Amino acid sequence: MQGALAMTYLWLKAGHIIFVIFWMAGLFMLPRYFIYHQESDVGSPEDAKWIDRERKLLKIILNPSIIVVWVLGILLATTQHLWAEPWLHAKLFLVLLLSGYHGWMAGYAKKLARGERPLRDKQLRLLNEVPGIVAALIVVLVIVRPI
């Protein structure tokens, strides 16, 4: 019985890490898409291609990945009885921030699709750094467990 539980944990952990990688890849790609998209003229064929690319990235990679990451993360925390751990609370806070960032980007894609260009390229380039910084902090919390 103990061996089956250990194997389940390892499969949950592997799946969680795999889908975190997918999610992070999408979080890195979408702001870069936005930068290129904003260079196209509103209503042009190139604009339509960027709208389609962004929609597909959200629908095929980002949205399914965030769901799987959350489900497997909750299962991992539950099976390992980690809910009282301070490092997990900090990690969850950062994952909530990343989830909010994901939602903000989905909203920004809709604005671009409507022809709105509220941010400058430089602002988007700075926002593109958010997932990398947050991911680094999460990795430190999970591996080092400083708190």
pLDDT at 7: 81
Closest listed residue to residue 27, CA positions, set 57, 69, 50, 55: 57
Sketch the domain layout of the chain as residue ranges. Answer: 2-143
Percent with pLDDT over 90 in the chain? 92
Percent with pLDDT over 70 in the chain? 97
pLDDT of 87 higher than 80:
yes
pLDDT of 6 higher than 80:
no
pLDDT of 57 higher than 60:
yes
What does the alpha-carbon distance between residue 82 and residue 50 come to, in Å, rounded to a whole number? 42
DSSP-assigned states of every residue in 82-144: -TT-HHHHHHHHHHHHHHHHHHHHHHHHHHHHTT---S-HHHHHHHTTHHHHHHHHHHHHHHT
Q: How far is CA 25 from CA 42, 49, 94, 99, in A?
A: 27, 20, 17, 14
If you average pLDDT over every residue of the chain, what do you get? 95
- Express each pLDDT in 34-53 by its tens digit: 999 999 999 999 999 999 99
pLDDT of 3 higher than 90:
no
Q: Is 56 exposed, middle or buried (0-12, 13-18, 19+ CB in 10 A)?
A: exposed
- Express each pLDDT in 104-133 by its tens digit: 999 999 999 999 999 999 999 999 999 999
Residue 102 annotated as lining a ligand binding site: no
pLDDT of 5 higher than 80:
no
* Tokens of residue 78, six digits: 């539950």
Overall average pLDDT of the 29-35 stretch: 96
Q: How far is CA 144 from CA 77, 87, 93, 123, 141, in A?
A: 17, 9, 17, 32, 6
Give me the half-sphere count of Cα atoms (radius 13 Å) on the Cβ side of residue 3: 0
Residue 16 annotated as lining a ligand binding site: yes
pLDDT at 1: 47
